[in-house]
Amino acid sequence: MNVPLLDLVAQYRGIKDDVLRAMMTVIERQGFIMGPEVAQLETAVAELSHTKHAIGCASGTDALLLPLRALDLRPGDEVITTPFTFFATAGTIHNTGGTPVFVDIDEATFNISPRAIEAAIGPRTRAIVVVHLFGQMAAMEEILPIARRHGLPVIEDAAQSIGARRKVDGEWRLSGELGMVGTLSFFPSKNLGGYGDGGMIVTQDDVLAERLRRLRLHGGAKQYFHDEVGYNSRLDTLQAAVLLAKLPHLAEWSRTRAGHARRYSEAFVGHPVICPPKVDPLNEHIFHQYTIRVPRRNELQAALKAKGIGNAVYYPLALHLQPCFAHLGYQPGALPVSEAATDSVISLPIYPELTREQQDAVIHAVLEFYA
């Protein structure tokens, strides 16, 4: 049985009428730039994220780029982050003039280690970028006090964690709610994905929100007048319309993903070599990815591929060892937990439309490989 890693066609079949109606409304109106759907989506996402503001932008990458730019980094300024993430987390630090400082992750959750953050803080540290990887939040109750003690802003890269929650000091806190900003991606494969690129920044900070709104429009609050040099980084109205049509389904989709995750983990738990993902008891995980750790990972990957079972390795090379960051001087072995993860992780199909039979085929193929 062929099982894709992701089946967006299956999702489209279920929501086609709503999405096409929403897109046709925009097309009939012929208003594609900053139309009313953008503001409607911003309001809805701010509500979902428990934040005062949401600012649509062109991608999850730009959602990181704009607030990093708002930090006005100078050459030599350092931003601490994780090396076990998608490239954009660190690429945007570099592209806004900062130097990424990579620190290791927590072995159980793959998220940045608060202790490692604290150890890396120095006189040039200007900010911390935390990634809530694969759909579960990092230990914000430990990271925020460290950041506060050192007067450092925290950027939450929430590209993979929209709607995820964590009990922080006894209260449920949403992904993106507690940092200086939270940054979202609407890349098509995300739990809430558009039909192209898109992103959003959420924040509680009124002044910062105004600046981010300017930065996404070439740095001017008023057309043709520019307070600073910004970017063309708007969220397309058509994308906002698609996302508004999908948004009512998001919570159910994420619950269904979590159900699939439970079923996988029940099949793998207690296995001598397959290590299912660990959910921190403080977290409500939205399972953007279901990522196991295994020995002989590359062989498993080839065996699954031969059987038509979709899978992916997120991420095969930690960012501190990427050729583009060679000038930073990290050597293999510098961040051993991250490096071990890159050698052992593999992500399995977890999309909401995955059928029981498909999931059984994935489970069977993985168990058979290690039998």
Q: Which residues bind ligand PLP (CB under 6 A)?
A: 59-61, 85-86, 88-89, 131, 157, 159-160, 185, 187, 197, 199
Residues 288 and 349 sit within 8 Å (Cβ to Cβ): no
Q: Which is nearer to ligand PLP, 187 or 330 (CB)?
A: 187
* Four-residue CA torsion sign, 192, 195, 199, 200: negative
Minimal distance, residue 160 CB to ligand PLP, in Å: 5
The residue nearest ligand PLP at its CB is 60
Question: 165 vs 288, which CB is nearer to ligand PLP?
Answer: 288
- CA angle 168/172/178 to nearest 5° reads 60
Of 62 and 339, the one with the shorter C-beta distance to ligand PLP is 62
Question: How far, rounded to the nearest angstrom, does the alpha carbon of residue 43 sit from its chain's CA centroid?
Answer: 20
Of 42 and 197, the one with the shorter C-beta distance to ligand PLP is 197
Tell me the closest approach of the beta carbon of residue 30 to ligand PLP, in angstroms: 26
Round to whole Å and give the CA distance between 97 and 109: 30
C-alpha dihedral sign at 60, 141, 69, 91: negative
Task: Compute the least distance from the CB of residue 260 to ligand PLP, in Å.
Answer: 20
Q: Which is nearer to ligand PLP, 85 or 125 (CB)?
A: 85
In angstroms, the CA 267 to CA 23 distance is 41
Q: Could you tell me the sign of the dihedral formed by the alpha carbons of 116, 118, 119, 122, in that order?
A: positive
Euclidean distance between CA atoms 181 and 51, whole angstroms: 9
Distance CA 97, CA 104 (A): 22
Please spell the DSSP secondary structure of 99-167, one letter per residue: EEEE--B-TTT-SBPHHHHHHH--TTEEEEEEE-GGG----HHHHHHHHHHTT--EEEE-TT-TT-EEE
Q: How far is the CB of 140 from ligand PLP (least distance, A)?
A: 16
* Nearer to ligand PLP (CB atom), residue 61 or residue 358: 61
The Cα–Cα gap between 370 and 295 comes to: 9
Q: Which is nearer to ligand PLP, 160 or 358 (CB)?
A: 160
| Residue 80: exposure state from Cβ atoms within 10 A (0-12, 13-18, ≥19) | buried
Q: How far is the CB of 83 from ligand PLP (least distance, A)?
A: 12
Nearest distance in Å: CB 64, ligand PLP: 6
Closest distance between ligand PLP and the C-beta of residue 195, in Å?
13
Cβ distance to ligand PLP smaller for residue 61 or 283: 61
Residues 186, 65 contacting (CB under 8 angstroms): no
Q: How far is the CB of 60 from ligand PLP (least distance, A)?
A: 2
What's the burial of 332, exposed, middle or buried (CB within 10 Å: 0-12/13-18/19+)? exposed
C-beta closer to ligand PLP: residue 135 or 276: 135
* Nearest-approach distance from CB 132 to ligand PLP, in angstroms: 8
